[in-house]
Structures are given as C-alpha cells and as structure tokens.
Amino acid sequence: MTYDHLKILLVDDDEVDRIAVKRALNKTPLKVDLTEADASKSAIANLVEQSFAVILLDYRLPDCNGLELISQIKQLKIDTPFIVLTGQGDEEIAVEIMKAGASDYLAKSKIEPTNLAKSIKNAIRLYQAEKAVAVANRQLRLTNELLLQKNKELEQQQQQIQLKNLELQEAYNLKSQFLATMSHELRTPMNAIMGFSQLLLRQYPDPLTKTQQDIVERIFNNSQNLLNMINEMLDFSKIEAGKLELSFQEFDLVQLVTLTVEELRSLAIQQKIDLKTHIDLSNQIVYQDKNSIKRILINLISNAIKFTEHGEVQVTIIEIDSDKLVIAVEDTGIGIAPENLKAIFQAFRQIDQTFTRKYSGTGLGLAITDSLVKMIRGTISVKSQLGKGSIFKVEIPRKANV
C-alpha cells in the first residue's frame, strides 16, 4: 500500500491549529495534497466537489459541532474516513464521535508527525478493509440469493420429479395388475384347450385320421407354448409386484435336478440333441427355495435346448466349498455376441426383436431367472461365443440366509 499524493481535507476554524497540523504533516513521510476549510459549509462544498482520502475534523466549529457535520456528510452519502481533532478535555466527546463512525481521534495538544502519520495510515487501512468486507458481503449476498433461487428451482424440479415418479409408479402398478389379471384369465381357457386336445389324442372312443391327429397335436403344442408364455408373464408380474413368496426347506438337490432334466428330455429329443447331466456333490441336501431352483433349471435348460440345433446340452452340479454350489448349463448352440451379453437379462429383451425372428418367446425367461437367483441370494453369469455355444453359471448358497 502506497501513500503518495494523499488528498486530505482539514476542517478547523482555528488558523493556529491548522498551521500546527500542516507542520506536522510536512514532517511525515506522507506526500499530502492538503485542502483547508474553516467551517462546515466550506467543508461540505469541498467534499461535494472532490474526493479525499482522509478528513481531519475539528470537533468544535463555529456553525456546528463534529457530530452534526458527520450527520450531514452521511446524508450526502459521502463515504470518506475521518479523524477527529479534539481540544483539551474533549476526550469524552471524542468517544461519542468514534461511536458515530470516526476512524480515530487525536488531541490537538499531542499532535506530532509520528502519531499523525500513523493515525492517517490506520484510517486509510481500516477504510479499505471495511470496503473490501462490504464488497465481499455484497458478493456473498448475491451468491446466497442465487443459491436460494437455485434451491427453489431444484425444489420445484424435485417436486415435478416426485409427481412424475408417482405417475410412473401408478402406471407401473396398473401394468403389473393388468399383466397378472390377463395372465390368470388366459390360463383357464388355455388349460381347457389343452385338456380337450389331450382327450382327442387318446382317440377314444373313435380313432383319428392321420390328418386329424396332426391338427390336434399342433393345437396341443401351440397351446402348451402359449401357456408357458402366460406362466412367464404371471411369474414376472408377481416378481415385479413383490408378491412372489419363497418357501425355504431342506430337499435333495440331485433328485430335483434329475426329475427336472427328465421332464425336459422330450424337448431335446424333438430337437435331436443330447441332454446330459454331471453331478458331483458330497452332500445332496440343501436348504433353499425348491420352486425357485426348479424354475431356474427349467428356464436355463429349455433356453439351451431352444437355441441348440445340433450337439448337446449338459447340466452340471458341483460344489465350490461346503457352503456354496454351482449349477451350470452348457450348450453347443448359436451363442451370444459380446455386445448383447449385458442385455440378455433385461425384461422383454430379445437379441432378435423383429417379427420374423426364428426363435419365439416373451423375452422374460432370463429376466425371471436373474430375479429368482437374486432372491435366493445367488449370482448368475454367462460366457458365450458365437457359433460355439454358451455357459450359464449360477452360484447359490447351500443354506439360504433367510
């Protein structure tokens, strides 16, 4: 901070006192441009016309006192630091002037170059510091106002998002309810169609012609496919709504896997592929949700059979350790491209989304499988190579931590 060419206004009606102040200023290292005023009116006139770094103000003026002059200066919104010059016995008055905003006060009898220069420097430093604080406070207020405005905008956006979420949740619930209702309603007539188809296939009491038998078999097979799709939709809607109940119990895993594989063997025979099992367990008993594991097996094995045109599907059950098991279903089918691996567990997502796709289905099988695996505290992963096949691996705890 430099103090070159400081413009100072000296307000004092006593010429002798003004001379004393000027002499003291001349002996300071400060370079001062001094303007003198002998009354409040001339002081105000100078302040209106030009700016000063500091005002040296005598308390007792012929037309008013220091407090009154300070009040007039403030009314004119003139912002200049001032130092009060007091006479003998005016210290108490000087305190009042300090409360009114003076930077300092000096007794005229004790004015000398050192303390006068120090007082002027302090007044300027204090004034500049106060200005910096005022600027910072203004900036802070502006920032706070901006933040308040942003917060209001964010609150409005959050409210809009919450309203949208409520609307989406309502639509989601209605969709799930619709899927569950429609799936339930469709199962009844579909079971009836399948039941009557089976009666006709028994050819009792009258035998069917070859053409009639082929037609009825098509009706039955297509009904079976539709029923599987309906069941998938129903299961998915239950999982989405959180209404699928699990029942954990002890059971023989080897027996469950063997029976499930045999139930699906006819699909493999139709596809003209081999369906094999490899089981290596020291302990066949698990504490898990039996229905979930069976559904996982059905989904993975039927998927593997559907996408395997030649070769085999193998189901493997092994132990990682005493607390964790692996169910793996490996096929020699068409495989999955690396860019499609992340999407296969998404609901209603199929690699071929066109209406002319070769492989039919709802696109829910793997989504249901993924959800069921998570519900029984397991994990599922897949490795695949186009044209060579896929391996779906499910790791589950032997005993579910319900």
DSSP line for 317-341? EEEEETTEEEEEEEE-SS---GGGG
Q: Could you tell me which residue, 229 or 43, shows the higher pLDDT? A: 43
The pTM for the full model equals 0.52
Total residues belonging to the chain:
402
Conformational region of residue 361, where left means phi above 0, alpha means psi within -120 to 50, and beta covers everything else: left
Q: Could you tell me which residue, 357 or 82, shows the higher pLDDT? A: 82
Confidence class for position 351, pLDDT limits 50, 70, 90:
low
How far CA 207 is from CA of 203, 211, 213, 237, in Å, comes to 4, 12, 9, 42
pLDDT value at position 275? 95
pLDDT value at position 285? 94
In this prediction, residues 34-50 reach a mean pLDDT of 90
Residue % of the chain over a pLDDT of 90 = 40
- Whether the upstream peptide bond of residue 205 has omega within 30° of 0, thus cis, is yes
Question: In this structure, what token pair is assigned to residue 149?
Answer: 């405005």
In this prediction, residues 94-109 reach a mean pLDDT of 82
Residue % of the chain over a pLDDT of 70 = 92
Confidence class for position 348, pLDDT limits 50, 70, 90:
low
Which run of H or E residues covers position 138?
helix 113-201
Closest CA to 271 of 299, 295, 294, 303: 303
User: CA 399, CA 11: separation in Å to the nearest integer?
Assistant: 96
Does residue 343 surpass a pLDDT of 80? Answer: no
Question: In this structure, what token pair is assigned to residue 339?
Answer: 């860019």
Helices 15-26 and 113-201 cross at an angle (nearest 10°) of 70
In this prediction, residues 215-222 reach a mean pLDDT of 85
Confidence class for position 374, pLDDT limits 50, 70, 90:
very high
Closest CA to 34 of 60, 121, 1, 26: 26
Give the three-state DSSP class for 226: helix
Does residue 126 surpass a pLDDT of 80? Answer: yes
Does residue 185 surpass a pLDDT of 80? Answer: no
Average model confidence (pLDDT) across the chain: 85
Confidence class for position 228, pLDDT limits 50, 70, 90:
confident
Does residue 393 surpass a pLDDT of 70? Answer: yes
Which residues, at least 6 apart from 233, have a Cβ–Cβ distance to it below 8 Å? Answer: 179, 182, 183, 362, 364
Does residue 173 surpass a pLDDT of 80? Answer: no
Does residue 400 surpass a pLDDT of 60? Answer: yes
pLDDT tens, position by position, 284-301: 999 999 999 999 999 999
Q: Which residue has the tokens 């930077």?
A: 103
pLDDT value at position 353? 44
In this prediction, residues 156-170 reach a mean pLDDT of 89
Confidence class for position 92, pLDDT limits 50, 70, 90:
confident
pLDDT value at position 210? 87
pLDDT value at position 356? 40
Closest CA to 288 of 255, 251, 261: 251
pLDDT value at position 355? 38
Give the three-state DSSP class for 157: helix
User: CA 340, CA 390: separation in Å to the nearest integer?
Assistant: 13
If you average pLDDT over each of 165-174, 239-248, 364-373, which comes out highest? 364-373
pLDDT value at position 3? 66
pLDDT value at position 161? 92
